[in-house]
Structure 1
Amino acid sequence: MGLRERNAARTRELIIDTALNLFLERGYDATKMEHIAEAAGIGTSTLYRYFPTKDLLIIDPLAFRGKLAEGLKSRPADEPLDIALGHVMIELFLVPRGDQQQIRQIQKVVNDNPAPRMRLLEEFMNERKLLEEAIADRLGRPPHDVFCVMTARLTTSLLEYIGELTFDVQDNPPEAYIRELFGSVTRQLAAEPPVFPVLTEAT
C-alpha cells in the first residue's frame, strides 16, 4: 500500500471513529454530517468525498464491497462450485475484523436506527445479487437461473449464520477455529438438508 492509500485509510478511520463517538454521544439522527466534519477537523467536501451519506458512513466497516463475487471469480475455473464457495467464505472470515468493541458499537447504532439498518440490508441484497451473477457466469447459465439464485442465497445465509456464531468468540478467530466451525455446520446441513416448501407429496 502506497503513501496515498495509507493516508486515505487513516482518514477513513478518523471519520468513522469520530462519527461513531458522536452517534453514541448525541444520537444518530441528531448528528449531522457537518458535525462529523467539524469534530474530525476536516472539510465538509472531504467528508462527502469519502462518504456521500451518513448511513453509508456507519455501515462501511460492516460492508463486503463485492468481495464474495470477486472471490468466486478468482477461484480456478475447473474447481467445483461448492469447493470454490467454501474457500471464498473461509477467506472472508480470515480478514482481520479490527476492533470488536467498535464493531459491536457500530452494529448497535445500525440496529437502533431505521435508515442505516435499511441501507445495510440493501448492501447485503446487492452483494447477494452480485454473487448470483458470478455463479451464473461461472456455470454459463442465465443470471436469474433458480439454481444460481438459491445457491447464492444459501451461501449468504450460511455466511451470516457462521458470522453470528463467531462474533462473540474473540477479535480475530484463528483459521483452525473457523475451519472447524465451518466444517461442523456444513456437515450438519449435508446430513440433514433443510426442507423446502412443496404443494403436493412426492409420488
Structure 2
Amino acid sequence: MASGLRERKKARTRALIQATALRLFRERGYEATTVEQIARAAEVAHTTVFRYFPTKEDLVVSDDYDPVLFEALRTRPPDVPPLRALRDAMRATLEALPPDDLAAARDRAVLILDVPALRGAAFGNLFTTMRTLGDVLAERTGRAPDDRAVRTLTGAVFGVFLELMVRWTGDPSMNLPDAVDEALATLESGLASWT
C-alpha cells in the first residue's frame, strides 16, 4: 500500500511539473523559460524537475500514453486484424483521456511544431514509439518486426498520426478520437487485402 501511495505521489508531482512547464511555455515562450523558473513555479527543487524530466525538451515530448496504447493493443482479441485492433486501441486510449490531459497533449503538439529543438526531440521519441508499435504488431500477427508488411503498416500509421497532429494544432475543435478513427478507417480500407 505504501508503494502504491508513493507511486501516486510521484505521478502527481510529475504531472504538476509538466503542467507548470506547459503553462510557462505558453505565457513566456519555450526558449525564454528556464528549468529553474519551472521548478520555482511548481514549488519543487530544480533537481526534482530533472529527476522526472532529464532534459528541458522532455517536459514537452514525454508522456505516459504509449504504454497505455500498447497494452490496449495487446488486449484486443487475436483474431481481430492488426489495423482494426489498432483503431480500437487508439479510440479506447484517446477516449479514456480526461479533457485536461487531451488539452495538454494538444498544447504539447503546438509547441513541438513551433520549436525546432522540440521537433528534433520529438522525432527521436517517434522512432522509439514506432519501433515498439512495430514489435507489438509483429507479436499480434506472428510476423517478424522487420517484416515488410509490419514496417509498412507502422510507417503508414505514423504518417496518419503526423498529419492529424498538424491539423489538430490548427483546429482545437477537432474531435481527436473521431479524427484518428476516421483516418485509420481510410487506411484500413486501402489495406483490406492485408488481414
Name the TM-score class by shorter chain.
0.7 to 0.9
- Are 2:172 and 1:168 equivalent residues in the alignment? yes
Deviation per residue, 1:142-193 (Å, 9 max, x gap): 22111010111223333455564696336xx598xx39x8358625862xx3
C-alpha displacement at 1:42, in angstroms? 0.8
Counterpart CA distance in 1 for 2:172 and 2:27 is 24
Alignment-derived partner of residue 15 in structure 1: 17
| Residues 14/126 of structure 1: CA separation in 2 closer, same or farther (3 Å cut) | same
C-alpha displacement at 1:135, in angstroms? 1.6
Counterpart CA distance in 1 for 2:88 and 2:106 is 26
Alignment-derived partner of residue 77 in structure 2: 76
Deviation per residue, 1:94-131 (Å, 9 max, x gap): 12253365444433332221111221222222211111
Alignment-derived partner of residue 8 in structure 2: 6
Is the 1:66–1:130 Cα contact (8 Å) retained in structure 2? no
Counterpart CA distance in 2 for 1:97 and 1:59 is 19
- Are 2:148 and 1:142 equivalent residues in the alignment? no
**Structure 1 counterpart of 2:30, one-letter code:** Y
Q: 127, 130, 133: which one pairs with 1:128?
A: 130
The answer for unaligned runs of 5 or more in structure 2 is: none
C-alpha displacement at 1:83, in angstroms? 2.9
User: Which has more helix, going by share of residues?
Assistant: 2
What does 1:24-63 correspond to in 2, within 5 Å?
24-61=26-63
| Residues 187/46 of structure 1: CA separation in 2 closer, same or farther (3 Å cut) | closer
- Are 2:115 and 1:113 equivalent residues in the alignment? yes
Moved more, 124-133 or 96-105: 96-105
Alignment-derived partner of residue 181 in structure 2: 182
| Residues 102/135 of structure 1: CA separation in 2 closer, same or farther (3 Å cut) | closer
SS of the equivalent of 1:78 reads coil
**Structure 2 counterpart of 1:16, one-letter code:** Q
Moved more, 65-74 or 45-54: 65-74
**What percentage of aligned pairs have identical amino acids?**
32
C-alpha displacement at 1:51, in angstroms? 0.9
The answer for unaligned runs of 5 or more in structure 1 is: 195-203
- Are 2:88 and 1:87 equivalent residues in the alignment? yes
Is the 2:20–2:38 Cα contact (8 Å) retained in structure 1? yes
